[in-house]
Amino acid sequence: MTRHALTGAVVCAAALGVAATVNVAGPDVSAEPVQAAPRSAGDQAADQPDPEVVASERAEAERANRSSEREAEQARAKVAEALKKRNEALAKSQKATEDHDKELQKAKKAEAERKKAEERRKQLEDGYDAKTAKTPKEIGRQIAENKYGWTGAEFTCYDKLIMSESRWVIDATNPSSGAYGIPQSLPGDKMATEGADWRTNPATQIKWGLKYVKERYGTPCAAWSFKQGHNWY
């Protein structure tokens, strides 16, 4: 029934002299709030996680964690093994290099000793010993004695001859004639018959000079005598 209809009914009732009590429907502001119905123990238990599920999930998480740790450990082991192999390879390569260097040094030393022995053998063949012959004059004295038997007076004559020519100076050069070296060979390259090092090796020059004296004059004293009379030899 609408509010207008209700009003009309009340008016009609009043006109007829009938007492009427009308209760108009509306919100009951004094009503208590509605309380939720209490939950049963079964409903509360249904909201709790299943212990078996929780245990299973925990076990699975632990398995996954252990698997990750194993994989990490395996990866670290692989890295360590790779580093070990690399270091072993480097050590092997370094040792090979060191061994090669040692062999090379041994070969160089052996070659140097061979050359030294060959040089000494040649020196002895030429009539002098470089260990004791430290000056051109001493080289000349030893060669004169060992190759020609010229000692004493004969070597004294040869010493005077050379002193008058070059004073035993290896690169002595006559400014007028161009005669060169200890024996004053003219030209200097005549001494190449005794060695390619005729410009710098006193033994090469002396060997040539003594041979020249032997072939031309026979003895150093004969050559010195000629030099005194002619001012050349």
| CB half-sphere exposure, 151, CA atoms < 13 A | 5
Q: Is 31 helix (H, G, I), strand (E, B) or coil?
A: coil
Which candidate, 230, 191, 222, places its Cα nearest to that of 207? 191
Stated pTM of the model = 0.56
DSSP codes of every residue in 158-180? HHHHHHHHTTT-TT-B-TTT--B
Q: Which helix (H) or strand (E) holds 228?
A: helix 220-230
Which DSSP letter does residue 188 get? Answer: G
Question: In a 10 Å sphere around its CB, with 0-12 CB exposed, 13-18 middle and 19+ buried, how is residue 55 labelled?
Answer: exposed
Asked whether 208 and 193 are in contact (CB, 8 A), the reply is yes
Confidence at residue 32, expressed as pLDDT on a 0 to 100 scale: 57
Model confidence pLDDT, tens digit, residues 4-50: 444 444 433 444 444 444 444 455 545 555 566 666 666 666 667 88
